[in-house]
């Protein structure tokens, strides 16, 4: 289990670095705190905030990455001003976040790895696909999948 968690961290830590603002907005625009990203500072902040979530597979890893990124961003004068003025986020908010992020406790981590059910994942992928699908194709995609009652 430890290897899986460590490798997941290595992969997710580099997530979103190097992608263009347009690609980021296209992929995650519906998940952002601010719909408009006027500059790179806003984009960096939104990418960090995107990592912070409680109901996600390996959320403790995502939250560690988000906490780490917010800590680094607060060290930049430009990002600190944007965080404070536009997001209401400062050192105290980071400290409060650090108290909530359960970084190093593996207690319950194995349960969290399997807490997202397959049908929930499929429903979320389908919901996102519907947002980007032309209207004429939505009727095919909106059908409910048939669950097999017979065991394989």
| Stretch 31-56: mean pLDDT | 87
The Cα-based distances of 92 to 21, 87, 88, 96, 107 in angstroms read: 29, 13, 10, 6, 27
The model carries a pTM of 0.65
Residue for token pair 């990002």: 79
Q: What is the pLDDT of residue 62?
A: 85
Paired tokens of 26? 């296209």
Provide the pLDDT for residue 46.
Answer: 93
- The more confident residue out of 86 and 102 is 86
Burial of 119 (0-12, 13-18, 19+ CB in 10 A): exposed
What's the helix, strand, coil split of the chain in %, to 5?
A: 65, 0, 35
- pLDDT, residue 150, reads 56
Distance between CA atoms of residues 118 and 61, nearest Å: 20
- For the chain, give the mean pLDDT: 79
- Give the pLDDT of residue 90: 94
Tokens 């409060």 belong to which residue?
A: 96
The yes-or-no verdict on residue 138 having pLDDT over 60 is no
**8 vs 71, which has greater pLDDT?**
71
The pLDDT of residue 16 is above 60: yes
Say what the pLDDT of residue 82 is: 96
| Phi, psi of 144, rounded to the nearest 5 degrees | -75, 140
Q: What is the pLDDT of residue 61?
A: 84
pLDDT digits (tens, 9 = 90+) for 75-99: 999 999 999 999 999 999 999 988 8
């Amino acid at each position: 289990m430890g290897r899986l968690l460590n490798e997941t961290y290595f992969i997710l830590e580099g997530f979103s670095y190097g992608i263009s603002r347009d690609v980021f907005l296209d992929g995650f625009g519906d998940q952002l705190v601010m719909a408009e990203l006027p500059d790179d500072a806003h984009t960096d902040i939104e990418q960090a905030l995107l990592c912070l979530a409680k109901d996600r597979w390996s959320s403790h890893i995502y939250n560690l990455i988000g906490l780490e990124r917010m800590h680094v961003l607060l060290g930049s004068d430009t990002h600190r001003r944007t965080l404070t003025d536009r997001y209401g986020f400062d050192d105290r908010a980071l400290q409060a976040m650090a108290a909530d992020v359960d970084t190093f406790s593996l207690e319950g981590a194995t349960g969290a790895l399997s807490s997202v059910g397959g049908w929930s994942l499929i429903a979320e992928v389908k919901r996102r696909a519907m947002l980007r699908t032309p209207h004429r194709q939505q009727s095919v995609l909106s059908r409910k999948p048939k669950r097999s009652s017979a065991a394989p």
